[in-house]
Structure 1
């Protein structure tokens, strides 16, 4: 079969990569569209190209195809020409974050085009907060969602139940054979050194919560700050306050996690990865963080799955740092369907 696929953001791209690899290994032709984030026009809208390059996945950068146009409004002429040129049998799109309900990004525009051309469409929703309420014209024929939490969220936000199937997140397949034993990190009073990794997000509360971290570091604690690729803000003044406790590194976020004792984030996918590696994770959950998701699920899914801890104040964060933090990897893997077969399930659903 011929599959036309498109993804804008890094997180969804990571979820799609194993699917593309599997499809191509089975002999299917996949035309994959991505978007870099190298310019002002694409900084907050793209980023998938870096993931494809890192994984040696052949793709087409939309900037090379249409130039630096408004990627919030991909014209139907673009998607129609793609379909006329490649004549796909299926359309696969990621679920990049969108702030505006009516945004006609490449993913949404291909869903519309699929409907117009009667080509089955599948959207891979890799995390519980990714898919937001939107007009029905942006509904794909099939939703491949990561877990029961994500299913609850997309159904509550309007997705038709008969179109939703739990497949797992293919980017988590690599964690299937990780050490499943609970990982214990002792508190700073008994450890020589404890390294924290703060995974930043576009959240406006980064400045608040990283300040909590700086105020709570023990004598032998150090912290690395990983800025989100779509975050345009300057943190130099805040980081300077860390002094010699700031870990400066050129490591990628994935490699940085492997050296961390504790992962700190608001709700980044990197926090889930850390938990799957057995690294204790603390989620900073302030009033505006994942509000609807928490209401629908009864709390933050990662916390409910016993993969992380919640800190909603400086005092709560400091209290957590006094505890021995554990990850219940068995429950976490069960909750997130970590069995190494997610990519297979997505491919089967796409081609069925």
Structure 2
């Protein structure tokens, strides 16, 4: 069976769904790997490097004969329409936000898998692309802040005087937040962090940061996610966080919920109260933003603070982001592979949970309901 690595077509996407180092894992399972010419260039992988790893390189027409197509972003409807019925696609696919893509996959008889929908269970950790890419985003967030902050991050004691460390506040202690904490600490900043899940306090402290206590009940939910809070509690939380925000040189926010709008954590007056030259990095800007006033892909001034709105942050470090993403993709494809054939077994909870379309139908219930309501 032929696995085709599609070249990305969406703006600002530099990652690739398979790197040369992992081609051998698929060919060893009896699969043929074909890479669209130029697919890896954004992540610094040449066509020649794929060929040396055992893949072949072809033009865009390779998709027409593909059994499996892997990509980072979902294929556009025009490319899905050109796939043969029964083909499998594996990519990020925020199904409820990409109804045109889902509709095209359904109509083409394509079995589309969304990496956002991979269940958060132990057996699926190696396929969890949200986690692997959040790791990249958390690291990158601190580099952005350190570059743009007109002050040092570390403590410096010199003959000319002592320069105190930067004060960094991280909101959200998931994978991205913990990586941001660790990176800021490595750069010498004094770091505080907050999360609505009280259980995250030990993880924050283990990295040498201080956990912000707000005297609010924990919102620990299933699968490590936070439960949804009422608006009254959300407003109280924003009010209690405001003085911590205004006392920080750097604010990094990381709270996002797949398929839903990001929660508003910081209101504009709190940002306006920050010292001139302060930096805010909102990693959730693409899904509505944790910080009032942030704009995805843009830098805006709020008071004297610069607010950097994130857009496809993992793609800004495409080499390692691609390596991690490719491992997630390969693990999911191999889960469905036996005797050189990719045959999804929907009795497997991972396969069933990640499937959006199959055999001309939409399997993901929330997306199906949206399409039926049109």
TM-score normalised over the length of structure 2: 0.36
Which one has a bigger Cα radius of gyration?
A: 2
| Larger RCO (CA under 8 A, 6+ residues apart) | 2
TM-score normalised over the length of structure 1: 0.37
